[in-house]
């Protein structure tokens, strides 16, 4: 099965595709090809697709899927392009890029938002906040709605309103056979189940419909930074506080290095620090009382937790994670956070491979934990915490050290690891084994057999058809 440009893709065939779509077809040698190869994770920018189809709408997606199938090309679907494992690009295959499909329409009466398959969270927040509404989105506003939601979607509103996928009400999906179908609680219900946690395995979502909720525009949110020698104390306080905290607040602890931001005293720039970061989806006035104990757990270096626009907390971290940075994440769900694990995480933090090595401990529970286990394909909901080792670097020589460090952080979880991890936080290509338990996986395989028996959509945490 050849996947090179010649002789499989003659110019005439590409020409036919160009004529069939409203968007752009970009091949090597075309203006814009170099740019079209770039994804968020610079580690994967060396991939050279045979063509990139920048789709203007569902008809272009259908044409691109048909073209890919007729030529036996490996398909990479690109939403926001943030895949850590580099799934949204491919050597010699076809990138079906939904980037132009970023339309967002809010229905404030019905409390719904309709979102194009290539939109990013900044697009959604911008439109919904104009009505004082929001749905659970990411911690960085440039992350794509597509991959994020299909994998689950962990964000600041999740303990009050559920994961992104829990807010999904319907989806228009182009299947591997090129049909456009709708999935919801009443139509193609098993597909709807699989779209909520099963990733991009079953088709290309051209439009998402989400429930939205009154949020902001001012919320109580932000970080408090402490010296690293308070990390263990902070994590112990977080462990005690998290299970008792009301649903409206969602928080994480981040063991990191102080970025050179004017809001952090200069003498701390580049030093190891711990941060408690939280956001309340409730009334701004009530926020202070929810987090009071974190003001005395240690003397803060900088306390930036307070009233701020929801749009600001949603994009606060953007400058630290620009497109083109090299990155690797590894993650596991945790049964708990005992003293041994806390000490091990603090040790790993001090041994970080570089300044953008972060250990995130996410508080889970709340609305996430109340959804029945088999209601969606999101594989695990009972864990109190999610551990995520996040790395970024610029020099390719530093790759091995960063990857090894992230793996060591997750290995430190030992018996506290549940055996499952969030698929969107895995930098390794084949992480389905840790993502899904046998029951969910079996059901996903049956769905894959029905919607994509030849595995057209395999650049993802891949559910292999039987």
Ligand X SMILES: Cc1cc2nc3c(=O)[nH]c(=O)nc-3n(C[C@H](O)[C@H](O)[C@H](O)COP(=O)(O)OP(=O)(O)OC[C@H]3O[C@@H](n4cnc5c(N)ncnc54)[C@H](O)[C@@H]3O)c2cc1C
Task: List residues binding ligand X (CB under 6 A).
Answer: 40, 77-84, 87-88, 98, 117, 138-140, 143-144, 146-148, 150-151, 153-155, 199-200, 204-205, 321, 424, 459-460
Give the span between the Cα atoms of 298 and 317, in whole angstroms: 24
Nearer to ligand X, 363 or 460 (CB): 460
Nearer to ligand X, 81 or 300 (CB): 81
Nearer to ligand X, 268 or 451 (CB): 451
Q: Find how far residue 463's CA is from the centre of its chain.
A: 18
Q: Quote the least distance from Cβ 78 to ligand X, whole Å.
A: 4
The single residue listed with the structure tokens 């956070």 is 337
Q: Quote the least distance from Cβ 265 to ligand X, whole Å.
A: 26
Q: Quote the least distance from Cβ 424 to ligand X, whole Å.
A: 4
Q: Quote the least distance from Cβ 393 to ligand X, whole Å.
A: 14
Nearer to ligand X, 178 or 227 (CB): 178
Question: Which whole-number Å values give the CA distances from 457 to 26, 332, 346, 441, 442, in the listed order?
Answer: 21, 25, 40, 16, 18
Residues 6+ apart with CB under 8 A from 30: none
Q: Quote the least distance from Cβ 58 to ligand X, whole Å.
A: 11
Nearer to ligand X, 65 or 204 (CB): 204
Q: Which long-range contacts (CB under 8 A, 24 or more apart) does 449-454 make?
A: 450/190, 451/175, 451/176, 451/191, 451/194, 451/202, 451/203, 452/175, 452/176, 452/201, 452/202, 452/203, 453/176, 454/176
Burial 277-300 (b: 16+ CB within 10 A, else e): bbbbbbebeebeebbeebeebbeb
Nearer to ligand X, 174 or 212 (CB): 174
Residues 6+ apart with CB under 8 A from 60: 21, 22, 23, 53
Q: Quote the least distance from Cβ 216 to ligand X, whole Å.
A: 18
């Amino acid at each position: 099965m050849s996947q090179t440009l010649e002789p499989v893709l003659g110019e005439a065939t590409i020409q036919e595709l160009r004529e069939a779509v409203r968007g752009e077809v970009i091949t090597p040698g075309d203006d814009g090809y170099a740019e079209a190869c770039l994804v968020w994770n610079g580690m994967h920018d060396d991939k050279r697709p045979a063509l990139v189809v920048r789709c203007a709408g569902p008809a272009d997606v259908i044409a691109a899927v048909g073209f890919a199938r007729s030529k036996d090309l490996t398909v990479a679907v690109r939403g926001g392009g943030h895949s850590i494992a580099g799934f949204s690009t491919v050597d010699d295959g076809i990138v079906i890029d939904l980037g132009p499909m970023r339309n967002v329409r809010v229905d404030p009466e019905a409390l719904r938002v309709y979102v194009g398959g290539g939109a990013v969270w900044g697009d959604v927040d911008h439109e919904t906040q104009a009505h004082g509404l929001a749905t659970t989105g990411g911690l960085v506003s440039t992350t794509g709605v597509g991959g994020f939601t299909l994998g689950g979607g962990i964000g600041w509103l999740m303990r009050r309103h559920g994961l992104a996928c829990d807010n999904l009400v319907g989806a228009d999906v182009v299947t591997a056979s090129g049909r456009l179908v709708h999935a919801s609680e009443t139509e193609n219900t098993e597909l709807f189940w699989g779209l909520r946690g099963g990733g991009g395995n079953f088709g290309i979502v051209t439009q998402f419909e989400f429930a939205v909720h009154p949020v902001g525009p001012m919320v109580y949110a932000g970080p408090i930074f402490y010296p690293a020698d308070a990390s263990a104390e902070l994590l112990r306080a977080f462990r005690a506080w998290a299970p008792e905290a009301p649903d409206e607040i969602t928080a994480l602890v981040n063991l990191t290095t102080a970025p050179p931001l004017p809001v952090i005293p200069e003498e701390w720039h580049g030093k190891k620090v711990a941060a408690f970061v939280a956001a309340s989806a409730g009334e701004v006035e009530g926020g202070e009382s929810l987090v009071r104990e974190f003001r005395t757990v240690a003397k803060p270096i900088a306390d930036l937790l307070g009233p701020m626009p929801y749009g600001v907390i949603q994009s606060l971290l953007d400058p630290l994670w620009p497109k083109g940075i090299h990155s690797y994440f590894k993650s596991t769900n945790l049964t708990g956070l005992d003293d041994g694990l806390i000490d091990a995480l603090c040790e790993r933090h001090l041994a970080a491979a570089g300044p953008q090595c972060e250990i995130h401990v996410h508080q889970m529970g709340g609305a996430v934990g109340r959804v029945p286990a088999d209601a969606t394909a999101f594989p695990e909901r009972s864990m109190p915490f999610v551990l995520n080792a996040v790395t970024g670097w610029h020099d390719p020589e530093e790759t091995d050290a960063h990857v090894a460090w992230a793996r060591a952080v997750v290995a430190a979880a030992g018996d506290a690891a549940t055996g499952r991890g969030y698929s969107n936080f895995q930098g390794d290509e084949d992480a389905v084994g840790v993502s899904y338990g046998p029951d969910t996986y079996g059901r996903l395989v049956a769905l894959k057999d029905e919607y994509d028996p030849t595995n057209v959509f395999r650049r993802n945490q891949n559910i292999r058809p039987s």
